[in-house]
Amino acid sequence: MKKIAVLLTCYNRKEKTINCLKSLYKAIEISNQGLNFDIYLVDDNSADGTSQAVNKYFPPVIITKGSGDLFWAGGMRLAWENALASNNDYDSFLLLNDDVILAENFIVQLIQTHEFCLKNKGQTGIYVCSTIDPGNSKISYGGVLITNKGIKVKKSLINPSDVPVSCSMANANILMVTKAVVKKIGIFDSKYKQQFADYDYTLTASERGIPLLVCPGIGGYCVDDHGNNWLSANSSLKNRIKFLYSPKGLGYKEQLYYLKKNFKYQFPYYFSMLWLKTIFPFFWDKLKKTRAKTKV
Domains of the chain: 3-221 (3.90.550.60), 237-295 (no CATH)
Per-residue exposure over 265-281, b if at least 16 CB sit within 10 Å of its own CB, e if not: eeeeebeebbeebbeeb
CB 24 within 8 A of CB 221: no
Amino acid 227: pLDDT: 61
Query: Which residues of the chain register pLDDT less than 70?
Result: 226-228, 284-296
Any long-range contacts for 291-294 (C-beta under 8 Å, 24+ apart)? none
Helix (H, G, I), strand (E, B) or coil at 264: coil
Helix axes 71-85, 197-207, angle to 10 degrees: 60
Residue of 260, 143, 125, 241 whose CA lies nearest to 191: 260
> Where are the alpha helices (H) located in the chain, listed in sequence order?
14-31, 50-57, 71-85, 106-121, 179-185, 197-207, 237-245, 252-262, 267-279, 281-295
Amino acid 287: pLDDT: 63
Amino acid 294: pLDDT: 42
Amino acid 279: pLDDT: 87
Amino acid 49: pLDDT: 95
Instruction: State how far the Cα of 215 lies from the Cα of 181, in Å rounded to an integer.
Output: 17
The DSSP result for 180-218, as a single string, is HHHHHH-SS-TT-SSSSHHHHHHHHHHHTT--EEEEEEE
pLDDT digits (tens, 9 = 90+) for 68-101: 999 999 999 999 999 999 989 999 999 999 999 9
Amino acid 226: pLDDT: 65
Amino acid 25: pLDDT: 96
Helix (H, G, I), strand (E, B) or coil at 150: coil
pLDDT digits (tens, 9 = 90+) for 41-53: 999 999 999 999 9
Helix (H, G, I), strand (E, B) or coil at 61: coil
